[in-house]
Amino acid sequence: MAHDFGSTGTVVSGAEASTNPTSGRLPEMPRANFYLMHNPEGWEPVQKEDGSWEWLPVLKRLLLKPGVNGVRGTRNGLDDSRARISFQDRGWTIIDRSMGYVTRYPCRRGWSYYLTWDHPIKAGRRLVVRHDAEGYNEFRRELVEDGVVQAPLPEVLADVLRGHQKQIDRNSKDIHIPVVKARIDEAKELIAGARKAAADLAPQPKRRTRKKATT
């Protein structure tokens, strides 16, 4: 029988959270704690349920492991200040953990840290992780709406679309193959929808008002 560990997870909001282990443990070794962060060049087009497209920030993980990305182990625990400052100096935005995007679960020899929208489920000897894509997209959408992540520059979105167009160009020689043609058609649909979404995001130029002639 599958065992859903969703009820045993504890949302982590601070650098360290005090929680009590429950009877349910993930059948795995610990997974590292992390911050989510965003680079101004990291954006992707995502299709919504109504078929339209939107641009959402691509979030990366800053793993809190000694020796990784400048994270240091000290007598008092992990020191991630140098790592965070290093990424911030390069233009990254470190997402505040008070937003509740990390959930931790008891596991073998400690804790495993998961994205809150990833739900680990034990199925026999396997551990299956189900991802709530819509919930995660809503979180990313709110980051932009609330100003936590700055809206993308049009030039950045244009670069992303050029990357998708290059994929089409590379595969065009094999368009006679049904599978390749289907991929190209999907990519063209993505580009068309994402281009419209990018245009909707672009600031509208202010209309100039003519000054009345004076006599």
pLDDT tens digits along 107-123: 988 999 999 999 999 88
Mean pLDDT of the chain: 85
Q: Which own/partner pairs from 127-135 qualify as long-range (CB within 8 Å, at least 24 positions apart)?
A: 127/26, 127/27, 127/28, 128/2, 134/49
Q: Report whether pLDDT(84) > 80.
A: yes
Q: What is the mean pLDDT of residues 162-177?
A: 90
Q: What token pair was written down for 16?
A: 């360290």
What are the helix (H) ranges across 15-127?
81-89
- The structure tokens 């965070």 sit at 84
- Provide the 10 A C-beta neighbour count for residue 169: 10
Quote the pLDDT of residue 208. 65
CA atoms in the 13 A half-sphere facing the CB of 138: 7
Structural contact between residues 22 and 105, judged by C-beta atoms closer than 8 angstroms: no
Say which residue, 132 or 207, is predicted with more confidence.
132
Query: Which pLDDT score is estimated for 41?
Result: 97
CA-closest candidate to residue 105, choices 127, 137, 78, 135: 127
E strands, 109-159, in order: 110-115, 118-123, 126-131
d(CA 146, CA 2): 38
Q: What is the pLDDT of residue 214?
A: 62
Residue 190 scores a pLDDT above 70: yes
Give the separation between CA 57 and CA 153, rounded to whole angstroms.
12
Task: Assess whether pLDDT exceeds 80 at residue 7.
Answer: no
State the Cα–Cα distance between residues 64 and 69, nearest whole angstrom. 8
Give the residue-averaged pLDDT of 13-39.
72
To the question of pTM greater than 0.85 for the whole model, the response is no
Count, residues in the chain: 215
